Structure 1
Amino acid sequence: MTTTTGISTHTGRAAPLNQANVDTDQIIPKQFLTGVTRAGYGKHLFHDWRYLDLNEQELNPDFALNMPEYQHASILLCRENFGCGSSREHAPWALADYGFKVIIATSFADIFYGNCINNQLLPVALGNEQMDTLFDHVNAQPEAEIHVDLPNQTVSVADHQFSFDIAGQHKQNLLKGLDAIGQTLEHEGQIEKYEDNEPVWL
């Protein structure tokens, strides 16, 4: 599939993962990279932290995603260099399959960031002080909802509002619901015109 409905604004609860350098092998360990579709990876998200056993039967009660107050969160808060490590696209697949729509972090690994864009998972980078405010607010009020506005490039919670940067092309791809193939097909008319003008012998 090359297009989805896109993302414009999103409001939801947030789960706080207050760690830096979370790599893609922690997001989705390599032993689970066996599927041929994007579905089914959410169960294994953060496997080594979420579960106390290899068979995923016993949850770790100390891990944020397992705490009752952070159930059904659709926004993930994290620290710098989120998504570092291997380039596996399964990492955003797992996050999206679990139910996350937005990842807010201090910074992202470049390849992971691009993979998020291609999979309609909105990555938002904010400064350390802004992230401190979000973590403090969510820890104090787990039921608080964060509002993310992509067209206006803002993140809001209670009386706080922060602006974030995003490249114009990335923004448009998210708004339109385009992956890499969808971006190419936007120029289908130009491609066909070029091919029609090619000499027959080519």
Structure 2
Amino acid sequence: MAGWQRHEGEAVALPRADIDTDQLIPARFMSASRAEGYGGFLFADLREDAADFPLDRHPEASVLVAGPNFGCGSSREAAVYALVDAGFRVVVAESFADIFAGNAVNNGLLPARVAEAGAILDALGSGTAPARIDLETATLEIAGARHAIELPDIWRRKLVNGWDDIDLTRAHEDEIAAFARARRDAAPWTWPARDGSRDRA
């Protein structure tokens, strides 16, 4: 996964609160291969029910601005896949479900917590606006205003480097190996011997 530090793109508003993962990608699409791409399944039911869905009007958008508690519901990582495969790099909301936020960061998608997300929704209305996100300064510039993003340092590190949790662990391989050596020296009886017996103190 490629990392990123800055993103510029068009922002589109989806003024709904409590968007859950089943709305993001309905369960019946979960058997599809990720290799085929999940972008076409994003908001499938909402798009079918709406005569004029915002993402259909603005397919070029790469920044989604939504209501609070985005990504609630079941912990399906496919919801993030659908957003990423549809071309989104950032979702802006006042708050996110914790599991969704973790899955998003692990897949290069920024869940941008912005206190003024409601005001941004109002400013966008049914149109779009250029948006610029900078991970280094943790800021969002959109609709003529600059907003602070609540961005934990660990999220920034993972997004900039294109890391998931496994990559983050690998970044500490030297420290892990040093701990293992020290532990073995301090408590050799806890380690199996190569001949199948155990070392004795």
TM-score calculated relative to the size of structure 2: 0.85
1:201 aligned partner, one-letter code = P
Contact between 1:20 and 1:81, CA under 8 Å: does it hold in 2?
yes
Given the alignment, which residue of 112, 119, 131 partners 2:117? Answer: 131
Q: Tell me the alpha carbon deviations over residues 31-83 of structure 1, each in whole angstroms, 9 at most, x when there is no partner.
A: 1111454651111011101125xxxxxxx44111111xx12100001011000
Q: CA deviation at 1:119?
A: 0.8
RMSD: 1.9
- Flag the structure with larger Rg: 2
Q: CA deviation at 1:191?
A: 2.7
Contact between 1:6 and 1:120, CA under 8 Å: does it hold in 2?
yes
Query: Is residue 77 of structure 2 the alignment partner of residue 89 of structure 1?
Result: yes
For 1:141-156, list aligned pairs within 5 A: 141-142=127-128, 144-156=129-141
Other structure's SS at 2:3 match: coil
Aligned counterpart, 1:186? 171
Unaligned runs of 5+ residues in structure 1 are 53-59
Structure with the larger RCO, 1 or 2 (CA within 8 Å, 6+ apart): 1
Query: Is residue 4 of structure 2 the alignment partner of residue 7 of structure 1?
Result: yes
Given the alignment, which residue of 3, 17, 20 partners 2:14? Answer: 17
For 1:160-175, list aligned pairs within 5 A: 160-175=145-160
Q: 1:37 to 1:196 in 2, by over 3 A?
A: farther
Q: 1:193 to 1:35 in 2, by over 3 A?
A: farther
Q: Tell me the alpha carbon deviations over residues 170-190 of structure 1, each in whole angstroms, 9 at most, x when there is no partner.
A: 111111111011011101222
Aligned counterpart, 2:59? 71
Unaligned runs of 5+ residues in structure 2 are 194-201
Other structure's SS at 1:14 match: strand
Rounded to whole Å, the distance in 1 between the matches of 2:118 and 2:99 is 25
Q: 1:141 to 1:93 in 2, by over 3 A?
A: closer
- Further displaced range: 114-123 or 191-200: 191-200
Given the alignment, which residue of 47, 50, 63 partners 2:47? Answer: 50
Q: 1:175 to 1:39 in 2, by over 3 A?
A: farther
1:190 aligned partner, one-letter code = E
Percent of aligned positions that are identical = 38
Rounded to whole Å, the distance in 2 between the matches of 1:189 and 1:34 is 39
Q: 1:100 to 1:19 in 2, by over 3 A?
A: same
Query: Is residue 28 of structure 2 the alignment partner of residue 31 of structure 1?
Result: yes
Given the alignment, which residue of 91, 110, 118 partners 2:98? Answer: 110
Contact between 2:94 and 2:118, CA under 8 Å: does it hold in 1?
no
Contact between 2:38 and 2:81, CA under 8 Å: does it hold in 1?
yes
